[in-house]
Amino acid sequence: MTEEIAKTVPVADPGEVILIDKPLTWTSFDVVNKLKKACRFKKIGHAGTLDPLATGLLILCTGKKTKQIDHYQAQEKEYTGTLVLGKTTPSIDLETEFDGEYPVDHIPNSGLIEAALQSLTGELEQYPPIYSAVRLDGERLYKKARRGESVEIKPRRIHVHEFEVDTRLFPEIQFRIVCSKGTYIRSLVRDFGKLVQSGAYLKSLRRTRIGDFHVDQAWELETYIKRKRSELGLPID
């Protein structure tokens, strides 16, 4: 191959792994689309969805690195957040309005919290929330939920390695959870509320780790975009 011909052969994009601290109210797809447009990535995807009302670590892969997405999705994950006992919402978070109120005075010093934590640790069968991105008959569950449809959801096998709580601000409970791929924290919150004979919703959630990657290593979205556009010689707004 002559040097002139070689110059015409496109070089495959080796890609990169990008760690982003997902902003509140953004969907994971919002982040993908923003980076694709702003940084002119031809191929980009994320390794594990975060709900719009969650923040924290989002792993994105570009170019040839997109082949590693399944590998990153399979990694152990760590979350911190706050659940509140005594009320419920259809989405189990603050995306929807409150639909139920339950007693909580019987919970302190009853042993119910300790028993719930034990029940929700280890190998579990978990039912995903109806307000989720799980597909049923080719459609996302949350779309069916918003139409008020009743659907039958199949359970999933998951593993919760650690579930720790701080009850000093009861009925708000701070938590830390280490779990397997496919675990819905909102479902754990829902089940926790039922096990303590009350109700619960998720007030806040932050993903702090995926495998060996920690959110402390992640870029703020706009900071990363400015750096990448500077590398590419593109104007920075």
DSSP line for 78-127: EEEEEEEETEE-TTSSTTS---EE---TT-TTSSHHHHHHHHTSEEEEEP
Give the Cα separation of 230 and 228 in Å (integer): 5
Contact 209, 77 (CB under 8 A): yes
Q: Kindly give the residue spans of alpha helices, DSSP state H, lying in the chain.
A: 3-6, 28-39, 69-73, 112-119, 141-146, 185-195, 221-232
> What domains can be seen in the chain, in order of their start residue?
3-73+213-232 (3.30.2350.10), 77-210 (3.30.2350.10)
Give the Cα separation of 6 and 154 in Å (integer): 54
List the catalytic residue out of 13, 21, 51, 166. Answer: 51
Q: How does DSSP classify residue 32?
A: H
| Helices and strands per DSSP (H, E), number in the chain | 7, 14
Nearest to 197 by CA among 124, 98, 126, 104: 104
In terms of C-beta density within 10 A (0-12 exposed, 13-18 middle, 19 or more buried), how is residue 13 classed?
A: middle
What average pLDDT does this structure show over 178-198? 97
Verify whether residue 216 is a known catalytic residue.
no
What pTM, to 2 d.p., does this model score?
0.89
User: pLDDT, tens digit, for every residue of 58-112?
Assistant: 999 999 999 999 999 999 999 999 999 999 999 999 999 999 999 999 999 999 9
What does each C-alpha distance from 67 to 20, 24, 30, 64 come to in angstroms? Answer: 19, 28, 21, 6
Residue 217, pLDDT above cutoff 80: yes
Give pLDDT, residue 34: 97
Distance of CA 231 to the CA centre of its chain: 30
Please tell me which residue, 189 or 130, carries the higher pLDDT value.
189
